[in-house]
Chains A and B, each alone.
Chain A
Amino acid sequence: MIDFSFTDEQEMFRKASREFAETRVAPFIPEMEKTGKVPPGLVQALADAEMLAITIPEEYGGLGLGYVARMIALEEISRISVATGMMLQVFALGIDPFVRFGSKEQKEFYLPKLARGERLATVAVTEPTGGSDPTGLRTTYFKNGTDYILTGRKCFITNAHIADTVTILAKDENDPKAFSAFIAEKGAEGFSATHEEHKVGMRGCNTGELSLEKCKVPATALLGQEGKGLRVSMSAIGDVGRGGMVGCAIGLQTACLEASVKFANERILYGKPISALQTIQNKLADMKIDLEAGRLLAYRAAALHDKGERSSNEFAVAKYFTTEAAQRAAKMAVDIHGGYGCMEEYAVSRFIRDAFVLGPSAGTSDIMKVIVARWVIG
């Protein structure tokens, strides 16, 4: 028989994550919305709460927990702040290549620091030419003695300006079919974070461009095998990136439903709370059905991953469904709030802006359908 219940331990993870989000993350939201910048105290709070250590193996100073635990944390944090959920999920995206493909020396050097938040990580694949088809990227590398020289530009990179350690995907200047992944360090010669984006939503979560102008990295910066870089970066994006977006989306769905139920029970129309109106009930029911279905897809994919089974297609299904559902939920939440939904003091106005950023992050809904169709066709 299939057991759909969470363990007592997982329920405690949820409790810990919810308490953290409500008490430590929520106070930063006004500042994030106003400035669009990452509050330094927020990153420290994430580190103090061991949120950066969740997926790092215990032998490297992490908690050694799986994707279900990560999904729980992301859901609860995104219920309060999707921007923070996004930031956190991309830190894990940056950590994953070290866990899966790092050499013993790379793991020993980087992972304990990443677990403690002394270093922050991200992955840079996307370029102005696109991200979902990495074979079209233009950043190149060539070998110069024992070093590698990287040249190119990366865009729409989450945590670009706050990450200390970035996994860069580049192609061999002399062999356009050979891709490799390199570790670039903040402050390295020729490596800089340049333009900072101003997104409509997820304000306070940094997104920007990275410039590589003959950036020199040592041979020890090669992550995984030379020429096998697509596997390094795409496995991270396929499972960690999409899985992370799913966590953000179900958190936002929950936030939309909770805000809508509260408002609908308080707002009086025709002498009764508007929750007594069938048209409002219909919206609330739709949101709840989407949330229940989304959570089943999300946790099934995460549980499959924790069992060591293939989960990237399942995450693509969950990513498509939950991010679309989050957009529907945010629209309905704003509709239920009427004029108040257009006012910035009501959180639903933030939810609808955040919802639209969920769509393209880690692959658009159309790309998810391409992946799902390939899975179906075989």
Chain B
Amino acid sequence: MNVIVCVKAVPDPKEICKIRIDPATKTLLRCDVPLVINPLDKNALEAALLLKEGRGASVTVISMGPPPAETIVKECMALGADRGILLSDRAFGGADAFATAYTLAGAIVKAGEYDLILCGMASSDGATEWVGPQIATFLGIPAVTMVRKFESQEGAAWRVLADWQNGYRRVEVRLPALLTITRDLNRPRALSFSGILKSRKKTIEQWGREFLDLPSEALGAKGSPTIVSEMSTVRNRRDVKMLRGTIEEKADQLVGLLAESGVL
């Protein structure tokens, strides 16, 4: 069984407050915030590693990003992935979800046969939730989004539980398929020293546009139909309002304030 996991290098969510917006280009300035594996992609990788341990699956990690993203592919290999591929090329720069999915789909085809593709449900920076389903569309395979449990796996016939608004869906899907994973599926394992040492022998494959043999006009900013019209920083401020009156009056005022601010 070959499992492919798509991972994204994102700015560390713990240090997200340091990130600034370039008002001219409307892009994010990372400001030395370190790159980490997108948190939900860790759940996707964990699911793949459990399949490796339980069914002898081979796990390939594919990431698209600038050269520093190599560190997160290396980290995936230290966690137990067998093969790591970094898609890095200036031609890929400025890609939106659509162009990213197109490039990743091209890389998946190039990587060889696959039975299952796993993605995190969303990235912590873009949070569109589109890349996974778009990869499936480009590859012509079924996709199930927001998977929270693998209920049964009988050959190529899988049954999964997936979130749906305030409830869930029970979905039967035939492999090869793409699943996007929520944090409820598992608890990602921690990086271990011995895992890091084992990854010394593993090399990362670096693929560019020429190797993928994809048309430049479909890649990066050129291949991105999304137009960012505006970006702004949401500022959180604390404000104190003293309520006066009887307890009943204060309760009424509080309910009014909460309703006014959109909490209720």
Scoring A residues 25 to 58 as 1 if CB is less than 8 Å from chain B, else 0, what string do you get? 0000000000000000000000001100110000
A65 within 8 A of B: yes
Say yes or no: A16 contacts B191, CB within 8 Å. Answer: yes
CB neighbours (8 Å) of A23 from chain B are: 190
Q: Which residues of A contact B71 (CB under 8 A)?
A: 8, 11-12
Query: Chain A, 45-82, contact with B by CB distance < 8 Å: what is the 0/1 string?
Result: 00001100110000000010100010000000000000
Secondary structure class of chain A's binding surface, majority of residues = helix
Assess whether A20 is interfacial by the CB under 8 Å rule. Answer: yes
Docked-complex contact A9 and B192, CB < 8 angstroms: no
B window 32-63: CB within 8 A of A: none
Chain B residue nearest to A268 in the complex (CB): B238
Which residue of A12, A20, A50 has the most chain B CB atoms within 10 A of its CB atom? A12
Among B96-104, B112-120, B164-172, B193-201, the stretch that binds chain A is: B193-201
Q: Point out the residues of chain B lying under 8 angstroms from A50, CB to CB.
A: 192-194
- Give the residues in chain B near A133, CB-CB below 8 Å: none
In the complex, the answer to whether B190 meets A19 with C-beta atoms within 8 Å is yes
The reply on B8 being an interface residue by CB < 8 A is: no
- A100 CB within 8 Å of chain B: no
For residue B171, give the distance in angstroms from its CB to the closest CB of chain A: 32
Contacting residues, chain B, for A142 (C-beta < 8 A): none
A9 and B190: CB pair below 8 A? no
Evaluate contact between B196 and A13: CB separation under 8 angstroms: yes
Tell me whether B74 and A16 are in contact (CB under 8 A): no
Query: Chain B: interface residue count, which band?
Result: 10 to 19
Cβ of A15 within 8 Å of any chain B Cβ, yes or no, is yes
A11 to B191, CA, bound (A): 12
CB neighbours of B193 from chain A (8 A): 13, 16, 49-50, 53-54, 63, 65, 69
Majority-rule SS of B interface residues? helix
CB distance from A225 to the nearest CB of B (A): 33
Task: Please give the distance in Å from A295's CB to the nearest CB on chain B.
Answer: 17
Known: A20-B190, A49-B190. A15 touches B75 (CB 8 A): yes
Q: How far is the CB of B32 from chain A (nearest CB, A)?
A: 14
Q: Are B197 and A16 in contact (CB under 8 A)?
A: no
Distance in angstroms from B10 CB to nearest chain A CB is 15
**Residue on A with the closest CB to B74?**
A8
**9 tightest CB-CB pairs across the interface, nearest first?**
A16-B191, A12-B196, A50-B193, A63-B193, A19-B190, A50-B194, A12-B78, A15-B191, A8-B71
- On A, residues with C-beta under 8 Å from B are 8-9, 11-13, 15-16, 19-20, 23-24, 49-50, 53-54, 63, 65, 69
Pairs across A and B, CB under 8 Å, 26 listed: A8-B71, A9-B196, A9-B200, A11-B71, A12-B74, A12-B78, A12-B191, A12-B196, A15-B75, A15-B191, A16-B190, A16-B191, A16-B192, A16-B193, A16-B196, A19-B190, A20-B190, A23-B190, A49-B190, A49-B192, A50-B194, A53-B193, A54-B193, A63-B193, A63-B197, A65-B197
Further contacts, 17 of them, CB under 8 A, given A13-B196, A63-B194: A8-B74, A9-B200, A12-B71, A12-B78, A13-B193, A15-B75, A16-B190, A16-B191, A16-B192, A20-B190, A23-B190, A49-B193, A50-B193, A63-B197, A65-B193, A65-B197, A69-B193
